[in-house]
Amino acid sequence: MTRYNRHALCAAALGLLLLVGVSTAHAQSTIPVRVSTRSLAMGGATLLSSGPIEAGYYNPGSLTLNRGFSLYIPMVQATVDNNFLDTVKWIDDHQADFDDFDSMSDPDKLAFINEVNDEIGNKWIAVNVDPMIGVQVGSFSLSAYSVTRANVRMATSTAFPYQEPEIQAYAINDIVFNAGVGLQLAPLLHGGVGVRYVNRRMSDGIVTVSSEDGGSITDLFGEASESDGESINGFALDVGGTFTLTQAFAVGGVIRGLVSSMEDEDWEPELSVGARVKPLELLMGIPLVFVRDITVEANISDLANSRDEDYAEKLQLGAEVKIPLFALRAGMNRGRISYGLGMHFLVVDLAVAKATVPLILPDGVFDDEIFSVSVGIGF
């Protein structure tokens, strides 16, 4: 009789965090754009206020607003949903039951397995690990990042003999290389062009490995990447612009996928627009003591409605208040509140965020809370 223990369950949950390049699909463009922890905290409203390097793939029309030298080596971002956190907590709370499983009577074993099924079994878990490296020199940005939509679950069984749970996953992996250049077209008008190369691989349906047979979470994603699923390669061209009415006000937008070699209906051009306000710029030189900067932004994603959604679902609002060492962030996306915190100390860049987003799972689309943490070495 196979020992039924918590280690396979922990490996399935915690092992996910060790897989660089694995992420989930939030409510984002089908064109693979890396959504940062900062952007999640600000409701996605960072079209005109994205930082150096990130502007190269988010809106190249704002690259000339962040001239200078910036380097990330790397920036790693991890995002988990409530199911992940509930699973880890439940396993930890029931450690003694897993340890004593072999000494239980058969009825107690069956009752415990049923409890495992009810509490943590067969629930899809969303985990996000987004790596990014990049450099910006002047108004030129070069970056590489991963956007991989992955869903994982532990498929438990009450069958005799007591079997270790199977681990299942479905994944779409995008490896993206992006180059962006910004141009100052006029004193108040900034433009930019981004060129993106994408390698996309999709697993052939749901892939399964059994921990009872020695399979691991690494084997799972190895099988997923080597499955006979579809593989696509191609280029996409983005064009963006920003009009700085004053130092306090700016408007602009970006067309993502204006030209694309990806022969797929999901890759239609997508227009997003926004407006940004910096209220402190209106104070006309009044000395700042504690608050260093304030940014308020509103975006409308997919203005041409290529995804055929209600426009109320496209509005994104965000705000950031910078104080010494920290940045306080909050926002609203699709009517749902988000918030977070950022810190930059010497060369270490940290950020956390909590948001409610639609997660795309194999059995449907569901709203869920996600928690995101990013850490990077930045200059």
Model pLDDT, residue 216? 47
- Please choose, from the candidates 378, 213, 270, the residue with its C-alpha nearest in 3D space to the C-alpha of residue 32: 270
Model pLDDT, residue 263? 64
- DSSP letters of 70-134? EEEEEEEEEEEEHHHHHHHHHHHHTHHHHHTGGGS-HHHHHHHHHHHHHHTTT--EEEEEEEEEE
| Whole-number Å distance between alpha carbons of 99 and 86 | 20
Tokens of residue 136, six digits:
């910006």
Residue with tokens 């710029």: 281
| Whole-number Å distance between alpha carbons of 82 and 373 | 14
Q: What is the pTM of this model?
A: 0.83
For the chain, residues with pLDDT lower than 70 are 1-31, 155-165, 203-230, 263-266, 284-288, 360-364
Model pLDDT, residue 14? 40
Residues 6+ apart with CB under 8 A from 279: 248, 294, 296
User: How far is residue 285 from each of residues 231, 280, 367, measured CA to CA in Å?
Assistant: 55, 9, 44
Q: What is the CATH number of domain 6-378?
A: 2.40.160
Model pLDDT, residue 350? 95
| Whole-number Å distance between alpha carbons of 355 and 370 | 6
